[in-house]
Amino acid sequence: FGLLGHACGMIEDSPVGMEIHVAAIPFFPEAKGFARMGLVPGGTQRNREFRLNMIEQAYEKGDDMWNILFDPQTSGGLLISVPAREAEVLLQNLHRNGIKDAAIIGEVVGEPKGRITIRE
């Protein structure tokens, strides 16, 4: 499903939305180059077509970033949602326990319901 596919699944048919900040997402540096060359799995486009109707695009990044965000190759990644007041403590604990790539990449919002807004 990729990052955006999983995020969509979290808020689908719910009374909340989500904002994701692309600049905060950790990913392998090589990913941009591979996406630019079109080296993405076939499932990427299917994921994009299936979930794009739930995405509000608040910036223009081009297909390379969309290919990364919808890339179905998730191996060990974890997308979780916790109350905002607990997020920083959780992040510090994850870092302290060796999960250095853990990051706060967005937040749950009231509007637009059932949609994800992608921001820089």
Q: What is the pLDDT of residues 49-66, one digit of tens each?
A: 889 899 987 666 677 888
Please check the confidence at residue 108 and state whether its pLDDT lies above 70.
yes
Query: What is the Cα–Cα distance from 94 to 96, expressed in whole angstroms?
Result: 5
Please check the confidence at residue 72 and state whether its pLDDT lies above 90.
no
Contacts of 103 (CB under 8 A, 6+ apart): 24, 25, 26, 91
Give CA 103 to chain center in angstroms. 11
- What are the boundaries of each domain within the chain? 2-119
Please check the confidence at residue 12 and state whether its pLDDT lies above 90.
yes
CATH fold of 2-119, please? Phosphoribosyl-aminoimidazole Synthetase; Chain A, domain 2 (3.90.650)
The pLDDT of residue 22: 92
DSSP string, 61-114: --HHHHHHHT----SS-------HHHHHHHHHHHHHTT-TT----EEEESSSTT
Please check the confidence at residue 76 and state whether its pLDDT lies above 90.
no
Q: What is the pLDDT of residues 92-104, one digit of tens each?
A: 999 999 999 999 9
